[in-house]
Amino acid sequence: MKNTEKVYVHPAPIRVWHWINAAGFIVLVATGFQIRFAEVFSFLSLRDAIVLHNYTGFLVMADYLLWLGYYLGTGKITIYFPKLQDFIPKTIAQARYYGCGLFRGEKNPHQMTPENKFNPLQQQAYVGLMFFLVPVQIFSGLFLWQVKKHEAYLGLLGGIKVVDTLHVLLFFFFAVFLIVHFYLATLGHTPFAHFKAMFTGYEEHHH
């Protein structure tokens, strides 16, 4: 008989950030598709889609500052950075698990705790996402929101076409990321275990 241990991993501010961010990203992707492909994908007027996209962008930006402020203020930002002394073997073990161990019923080599929340692959992904790609998308969106006001910055970055192309490429990346993230979230001990944990804060460990 397996014993179940509940571990409080997701504090309330992070759960609030996560679900606002998730809803915001979905709206941004949907409205982004309409703005770019209005002739084939239309559920709002183009004007309404742009307005909703802009306001949602500001909401996601504020939510990002909530996330950053919480982790910097509590000093817990270190959970995003891997420990170099065992980084390579843990990365290989985690990659092997996702590549074949998962499908053989093997145990995940990483056990989530409040101090060790992310496995090495997640840490690498989130460092790139949260400290580089999301800020780039936020700033490129701000520059495109008021082109005239930010002409000088756009010029330094190669012009509006360069910034717009970057924003669109990242938009496609985040659309794919949402799908991958949803799939990986189903890989708990039950398909909805991680979803439940992001509402309650508690991850269940089965021994």
Mapped onto helix, strand or coil, the DSSP state of residue 73 is helix
Burial class (CB in 10 A: 0-12, 13-18, 19+), 106: exposed
Superfamily of domain 4-206: Transmembrane di-heme cytochromes, Chain C (1.20.950.20)
Structure letter (DSSP) for residue 62: H
pTM metric for this prediction? 0.87
Q: What is the pLDDT of residues 34-51, one digit of tens each?
A: 988 877 777 888 899 999
CA 188/CA 77 separation, integer angstroms: 24
> Please, are residues 203 and 6 in contact by the beta-carbon 8 Å criterion?
yes
Structural tokens at position 158: 């190669």
Report mean pLDDT in 10-residue bins for the chain, 207 residues: 79 94 95 86 87 96 95 93 87 92 87 88 93 95 90 89 94 93 88 92 82
User: Of 45, 46, 51, which is closest to residue 35 (Cα–Cα)?
Assistant: 46
Residues sharing a CB contact under 8 Å with residue 158, sequence separation 6 or more, in sequence order: none
Rounded Cα–Cα distance for residues 122 and 98 (Å): 12
> Can you tell me which residue has the tokens 């409205």?
31
What is the overall mean pLDDT for the chain? 90
